[in-house]
Amino acid sequence: MKHIIANWKMNKTKEEALSFVQKLSFFLETNNYNKCNISIAPPFVHLPVLYNTNNSFNLIAQNVSVENFGAFTGEVSAAMLKDYVKHVIVGHSERRKYFNETNELLYKKIKILLENSLCPVFCFGESIHARNKGDYLDFIERQLEDVIMLFSQNELSNILLAYEPVWAIGSGSSANELQINEVHTFVRDLIEKKYGSMYAEKIPILYGGSCNSDNTSIILRQPNVDGLLIGGASLSNDHFHQIIQLANSLD
């Protein structure tokens, strides 16, 4: 089963979101895409709206507060999200970069998600600096060790991981298959060393960073890639439907 997640980031008005999901629902209902698990991560305000229109795909939240409740203007808690989603994106490089989210904060966010029976979609990935310097695997190892690997196997039983090299996001060109393979295999081996092979085989590792209909097949054919986290190309019905079609046609 391939996980195909649309991360809309801060895009789409309510009208645009509704129009998109109406077309997507029709597309999914008139075809049999049983090899893909489709999810949309819209802005928070659209979650209740889309929740009431949808049953052919999952909804995911793009963020969660590190606090449970209280005087934190503008924040949305895990308990509030629980009515609409099962998964929440945590650790996206845009949150790390523009909102100064550190590994320490991300650890706390994941703890709160787990306490609320929500599953993290944990994003990690190296900067262009680490890539050019050549120590990107150490960089990635630290991101995983400082956050998700502090939890037990049981706690992480429903987590999804997403490798998103910062330099590929929004750039128009994804990492190539050798680069993707190297990191995904490295991460699966790390998980295996800590939690054992039974668990390591099961944990989905998605790729994100300039995915589109031209590179979907080649990326998803890589042995350790279990899905895609898609930004820009998920905003257009045509592109997103094409990606689903391609993902579903692979063995």
Residue 7 is a binding residue for ligand 13P (CB under 6 A): yes
Residue 164 is a binding residue for ligand 13P (CB under 6 A): yes
Residue 208 is a binding residue for ligand 13P (CB under 6 A): yes
User: Of 3, 164, 184, 241, which residue is the catalytic one?
Assistant: 164
DSSP string, the chain: -EEEEEE--S---HHHHHHHHHHHHHHHHHS--TTEEEEEE--GGGHHHHHTT-SSSEEEES---SSSSSS-TT---HHHHTTT-SEEEE--HHHHHHS---HHHHHHHHHHHHHTT-EEEEEE---HHHHHHT-HHHHHHHHHHTTGGGS-TTTTTT-EEEE--TTTTTTS-PPPHHHHHHHHHHHHHHHHHHH-HHHHHHS-EEEESS--TTTHHHHHTSTT--EEEESGGGSSHHHHHHHHHHHHH--
Residue 196 is a binding residue for ligand 13P (CB under 6 A): no
**Stretch near ligand 13P under the rule CB under 6 A, chosen from 73-81, 103-111, 144-152, 228-236:** 228-236
Residue 120 is a binding residue for ligand 13P (CB under 6 A): no
Quick check: is 92 catalytic?
yes
Residue 210 is a binding residue for ligand 13P (CB under 6 A): yes
Residue 209 is a binding residue for ligand 13P (CB under 6 A): yes
Residue 66 is a binding residue for ligand 13P (CB under 6 A): no
The footprint of ligand 13P on residues 76-95 (CB under 6 A) is: 92
Task: Kindly tell me which residue out of 88, 90, 147, 211 binds ligand 13P, with binding defined by CB under 6 A.
Answer: 211
User: Of 3, 46, 87, 92, which residue is the catalytic one?
Assistant: 92
Contact residues for ligand 13P (CB under 6 A)?
Answer: 7, 92, 164, 169-170, 208-211, 229-233
Active site residues: 92, 164
